[in-house]
A and B are shown apart, each in its own frame.
Chain A
Amino acid sequence: MSPFLARLRWAQRTLHDLPIGVKTFALSGVLLVCLGALGAHALFVMDSLSRGLRELTSRDLPKQQAVHAIKSDAIATHVNIYRYVAWSSSGVNVSTLDSLSRKIDAYARTAENGLAALDARNDLSSTEREGVRKAIRQWRRYATAVSDTIEIAGSDAALATMMLGGTDEDYKRVATTLDDVAVRVSDDTAVATDDLVRNSARSKWLIAGGGLLTLLLGIVATVLVIRSVVKPMQAVTRALRADAAGHRSVAVELCARRDEIGQMMKAMMKFREQTESDNRLLAAREQELAVQNARFNAALNNMSQGLAMFDAERRLIVCNARYAEIYSVPPELTRPGTPQLEILQHRVTSGIYAGGEATSYLRSRLEMAAAQRNDEHVIELADGRTIQVVHRAMPDGGWVSTHEDATARAKAEQKIAHMARHDALTGLPNRLLFREEMERALANAARGEMIAVLCIDLDRFKEVNDTLGHPAGDQLLVSAAARLRQCVRQGDTIARLGGDEFAVIARALACADDVEVAAQRILGALNRPFNVDGHEAIIGASVGIAVATDGDIAAHSLLRNADVALYRAKAEGRHTFRFFEPEMDARLKTRHKLEMELRRAVQEHEFELAYQPIMRLDSGRVSGFEALIRWRHPERGLIPPAEFIDVAEETGLIGSINDWVLRTACADAATWPQRLRLGVNLSPSQLRSDAFMRSLKNALRHSGLDPQRLEIEITESVLMQDNEATIAQLHEVERLGVRIALDDFGTGFSSLSYLLRFPFDKIKIDRTFVKDVGSRAEADAIIRAVVSLARGLHVDITAEGVETEMQLAWLHAERCTEAQGFLFSAPRPAGELAEVLVTLERRNRQKTFPRLATVNA
């Protein structure tokens, strides 16, 4: 193939691939350009023809006319000058000559003006203008000659006649020139006309050719459009029709086209593929759905809940086997489309429904369905089953409900609800229910009813619990609860608030005396002996009463008031009752404040220790110091231990305080001379705690104090606890090497038997006995007995609170081993002890003992 042919083929292919839009656009563009060119050319031709014609009429023809007019004027002038000369020589009268002269003059001027006008035209060709100018020059000369001739003719006709010859020459020249001009003008006209004719002839052919070309182009365009649009469209239609009929025969060559047809076919192919894949996907989904439906059915019929779904027309859509089972729905009523009404009616007629009126039940169910409400409710069936129904509206107006046999759960819930509000042991309302009852009662009090709250505490319950064990305690509580139940009136509430604490709400009281009666009744009932586990136990009780006459008081305040009164009753000897009085509250508040301050004191180390010397009476030397705690209160100054130790014991702060005392005192004592002992008081509650032993050992280890020098002072009440654990603890302390002293001997319920239960190292006689020494015989007798008892037991004996020389002398005489008191020294800070020691021992050596010796003697 030649290169040219190859290029031609390439161009053909390119043209074929061009988008139809481009092709038609280009073709119509070419057509439009052709038409435009044709039109423009025709316009141009018309315009130039009309311009030429206008030139002919407006320029060339007037020029010719003007030249002819000038010529005729010139002729007229010339003829008349001959005439004038002839007339003037033949003696024509002067006026005739004058008139002729004016006529000549007028012709001449007209001709001259005509020439000037011709020259003034701007459309003269250069040769025409040259001719006109020449004619003007010649005309002037001729005109001069004419006027000269006329002038001469007046005086000399013969000369004028002669002059005519020259004038004639001049005229001939002008005439020749004018003819020449006329020829040139008409030549121009002829040329212009020729041009016009020639141009129009050429244009005719041009326009005809252009029109033909445009027509050809139009035909080509039409053919091309048909070839590139209509034919492919027909092909596409055929292909699509075949495709629709199921023949996958869409021509590949159509797809291969690069123009719009190709794109359309590609888009169609894509659409077909998409549709096919969509169809495949749909089929897969359908299968999936079928599987899911099967699973769903399996799930539905195996679930433990009954399920029913209704449509907006209240017709059953689906229900599972469990649903039918719960309500004993016959199979013919479980078919989809069954009206809800029929199912419900069956429930009523078959006697499963156990509620109130059947019709109202039906109505409420139908209303609920109509109202599109979500609801949860419980229905009781005739056979005692409880069914929990959850009703859920669906967006389409129907609903789905689940039904669960909640019989067991409902019972359990009831039990739990009861347990939450009742004491398991006694079956009485607990604190929670009691509070609710109190709120209710107070609401009544607000309407003018008088109510009272009685707090009851069993006095010796703890002892029973400790000695006979918890089961016995429980038994006691049950019995007490039973007795309390008998005491209260109908409408009163009795509750167990915890432990051995009971409370009663007495309602509808006429006066405070009614409460007192009730309290007496309760005390009477509880004071009667209980038979516990075969033992007879007298327990007794204390009662605190708070009365509310209006609803102003809050429930918890009323209860607290009763509690305060109870506390008071217990503090004032038990087995009794007390009414709440406002000052009780104030005392309680003071105590509460003290408690707060004590807590702060422990944290801020507001405690300090003072030491009081203990004198050895036989040697007159100091045997040791007793550590005494002081609380240096930032506002109230020094507070003695009696005011805060009780509170410290109740709040448990005593542990920390004791620990501090032990540590500080041991550390101080370690700096003293070896012979000096340290006495530290220990509260009874402390002894029983494990922390005490730890803190004791720590104090000894840290201070390095010899345990032999430490003396723990305990009160009788420790022994009143009377249990083995306390004794064991004391033995353990003893094993450390620490001495143990019995403090405040003689003040408590002390019986001498206590002394047998533990081998004390020392007995300290309480200051109340020492105070009366020498003045009361009973005191003297007691001290003598104690001293001899101690001597018999081989323990030391210390007299506390010695204040006078007389007391000292008496004690010394009675062979009391040691003494302490203000006579020797008040408690002093650790820093002053050395001075105290020196002063005491010097004085005793010099003064006291010699005199004692005399007393002894």
Chain B
Amino acid sequence: MRIRWRAALVLVMAICLPASAGEYGTRDEAVAMVKRVQAKFAAEGADATFKAITGTDEFRDRDLYPFVYDVDGWNVAHGANAKMVGKLWISIKDQDGNFLIQQMLAITRGPGRGWVDYKWPNPITHKIQDKSAYVEKLGDRYFVGVGVYRY
């Protein structure tokens, strides 16, 4: 696991350098990544999209990664931690007591898209940091989100 994390780190650094962008992803980049997922979902279907998110680096950019849940709170794809896939996260809450998945579901069921603020482990620093994630309804049964950590 740790070997894969290192490999991922090397991979991220390699991607970031030629991009010559900032050290951390921005809110726009996060929205853009959601759009990309939406585009791939629309073009290639759910399975290909979920595999690409969980199994490849296609949707990984520095500390940005997408995550997809279904309407019941089950994780179906995760860009940072593959072990989260297939588990129910509806009752997860952060240290401040926010039921973040329930909030995301409320947004995607309601307006369809929006921002949610909560605390979440950073895959690079392995620390729990404040995070804002942009979530958007994906198809009929899912929503997709990409968050930015605030430093």
A residues in contact (CB < 8 Å) with B: 144-145, 148, 151-152, 154-159, 161-163, 165-166, 169-170
Whether A162 lies near B84 (C-beta < 8 A) is: no
**What are 7 A-B interface contacts by the 8 Å CB criterion?**
A152-B84, A155-B1, A156-B81, A159-B84, A162-B93, A165-B91, A166-B92
Whether A166 lies near B81 (C-beta < 8 A) is: no
Given contacts A155-B81, A162-B93, 5 further A-B contacts (CB under 8 A): A157-B126, A158-B126, A159-B84, A166-B92, A166-B93
CB-contacts of B113-134 with A (<8 A): 119-121, 126-128
Say whether chain B's binding surface is mostly helix, strand, loop, or mixed.
Answer: loop
Whether A170 lies near B91 (C-beta < 8 A) is: yes
Interface: B88 (CB within 8 A): yes
What residues of A have a CB within 8 angstroms of the CB of B87 in the complex? 148, 151-152
Whether B91 lies near A162 (C-beta < 8 A) is: no
The chain B residue with its CB closest to the CB of A161 is B128
Interface: B47 (CB within 8 A): no
Interface: B94 (CB within 8 A): yes
Partner of A162, one of B1, B90, B92, B126: B92
What residues of B have a CB within 8 angstroms of the CB of A152 in the complex? 81, 83-84, 87
Whether A159 lies near B121 (C-beta < 8 A) is: yes
Known: A154-B1, A158-B126, A158-B127. A163 touches B92 (CB 8 A): yes
What residues of B have a CB within 8 angstroms of the CB of A156 in the complex? 81, 83, 121, 126
Q: When chains A and B are docked, how far (Å) is the Cα of A151 from the Cα of B95?
A: 20
Whether B126 lies near A145 (C-beta < 8 A) is: no
The chain A residue with its CB closest to the CB of B99 is A166
Measured CB to CB, the closest approach of chain B to A845, in angstroms, equals 194
Most buried by B among A144, A148, A157, A161: A148
What residues of A have a CB within 8 angstroms of the CB of B92 in the complex? 162-163, 165-166
The chain A residue with its CB closest to the CB of B86 is A148
B residues in contact (CB < 8 Å) with A: 1, 81, 83-84, 87-95, 97, 119-121, 126-128
Measured CB to CB, the closest approach of chain B to A173, in angstroms, equals 10
Whether A162 lies near B88 (C-beta < 8 A) is: no
Known: A152-B83, A152-B84. A145 touches B91 (CB 8 A): yes
Q: When chains A and B are docked, how far (Å) is the Cα of A611 from the Cα of B121?
A: 197
Q: When chains A and B are docked, how far (Å) is the Cα of A155 from the Cα of B87?
A: 15
Per CB-CB distance, the 10 closest pairs between chain A and chain B, nearest first, are: A166-B91, A158-B121, A148-B87, A165-B93, A158-B128, A159-B121, A166-B92, A155-B83, A155-B1, A156-B121
Q: When chains A and B are docked, how far (Å) is the Cα of A144 from the Cα of B81?
A: 18
Measured CB to CB, the closest approach of chain B to A77, in angstroms, equals 17
The chain A residue with its CB closest to the CB of B101 is A166
What residues of A have a CB within 8 angstroms of the CB of B83 in the complex? 151-152, 154-156
Measured CB to CB, the closest approach of chain B to A90, in angstroms, equals 13
Q: When chains A and B are docked, how far (Å) is the Cα of A815 from the Cα of B47?
A: 205
What residues of B have a CB within 8 angstroms of the CB of A155 in the complex? 1, 81, 83
Known: A154-B1, A156-B121, A158-B128. A144 touches B88 (CB 8 A): yes
Whether B81 lies near A159 (C-beta < 8 A) is: yes
What residues of B have a CB within 8 angstroms of the CB of A148 in the complex? 87-88
Q: When chains A and B are docked, how far (Å) is the Cα of A165 from the Cα of B89?
A: 11
Measured CB to CB, the closest approach of chain A to B88, in angstroms, equals 7
What residues of B have a CB within 8 angstroms of the CB of A159 in the complex? 81, 84, 120-121
What residues of A have a CB within 8 angstroms of the CB of B120 in the complex? 159, 162
Measured CB to CB, the closest approach of chain A to B25, in angstroms, equals 19
Most buried by B among A152, A155, A165, A170: A155
Measured CB to CB, the closest approach of chain B to A176, in angstroms, equals 16
Measured CB to CB, the closest approach of chain A to B110, in angstroms, equals 23
Q: When chains A and B are docked, how far (Å) is the Cα of A163 from the Cα of B88?
A: 11
The chain B residue with its CB closest to the CB of A158 is B121
What residues of A have a CB within 8 angstroms of the CB of B95 in the complex? 162
Q: When chains A and B are docked, how far (Å) is the Cα of A165 from the Cα of B92?
A: 7
Measured CB to CB, the closest approach of chain A to B44, in angstroms, equals 28
The chain B residue with its CB closest to the CB of A145 is B91
Measured CB to CB, the closest approach of chain A to B145, in angstroms, equals 16
The chain A residue with its CB closest to the CB of B87 is A148
Q: When chains A and B are docked, how far (Å) is the Cα of A166 from the Cα of B81?
A: 19
Q: When chains A and B are docked, how far (Å) is the Cα of A157 from the Cα of B92?
A: 14
Measured CB to CB, the closest approach of chain A to B84, in angstroms, equals 7
What residues of A have a CB within 8 angstroms of the CB of B93 in the complex? 162, 165-166
What residues of B have a CB within 8 angstroms of the CB of A145 in the complex? 88, 91
Q: When chains A and B are docked, how far (Å) is the Cα of A151 from the Cα of B87?
A: 10
What residues of A have a CB within 8 angstroms of the CB of B126 in the complex? 156-158
Most buried by B among A144, A151, A162: A162
The chain B residue with its CB closest to the CB of A89 is B126
Q: When chains A and B are docked, how far (Å) is the Cα of A163 from the Cα of B73?
A: 14
Q: When chains A and B are docked, how far (Å) is the Cα of A154 from the Cα of B4?
A: 14
Q: When chains A and B are docked, how far (Å) is the Cα of A154 from the Cα of B120?
A: 17
Most buried by A among B91, B119, B126: B91
What residues of A have a CB within 8 angstroms of the CB of B94 in the complex? 162
Q: When chains A and B are docked, how far (Å) is the Cα of A154 from the Cα of B119?
A: 20
Most buried by A among B1, B89, B121: B121
The chain B residue with its CB closest to the CB of A147 is B87
Measured CB to CB, the closest approach of chain B to A723, in angstroms, equals 186
What residues of B have a CB within 8 angstroms of the CB of A170 in the complex? 91
Q: When chains A and B are docked, how far (Å) is the Cα of A170 from the Cα of B89?
A: 12
Q: When chains A and B are docked, how far (Å) is the Cα of A713 from the Cα of B120?
A: 202
Q: When chains A and B are docked, how far (Å) is the Cα of A53 from the Cα of B92?
A: 49
Q: When chains A and B are docked, how far (Å) is the Cα of A34 from the Cα of B119?
A: 84
Measured CB to CB, the closest approach of chain A to B128, in angstroms, equals 5
Q: When chains A and B are docked, how far (Å) is the Cα of A163 from the Cα of B128?
A: 13
Whether B128 lies near A162 (C-beta < 8 A) is: yes
Measured CB to CB, the closest approach of chain A to B75, in angstroms, equals 10
Q: When chains A and B are docked, how far (Å) is the Cα of A156 from the Cα of B127?
A: 10
Q: When chains A and B are docked, how far (Å) is the Cα of A140 from the Cα of B84?
A: 19
What residues of A have a CB within 8 angstroms of the CB of B89 in the complex? 166
Q: When chains A and B are docked, how far (Å) is the Cα of A157 from the Cα of B128?
A: 10
Q: When chains A and B are docked, how far (Å) is the Cα of A169 from the Cα of B84?
A: 19
Whether B91 lies near A169 (C-beta < 8 A) is: yes
Measured CB to CB, the closest approach of chain A to B15, in angstroms, equals 22
What residues of A have a CB within 8 angstroms of the CB of B90 in the complex? 166
The chain A residue with its CB closest to the CB of B129 is A158
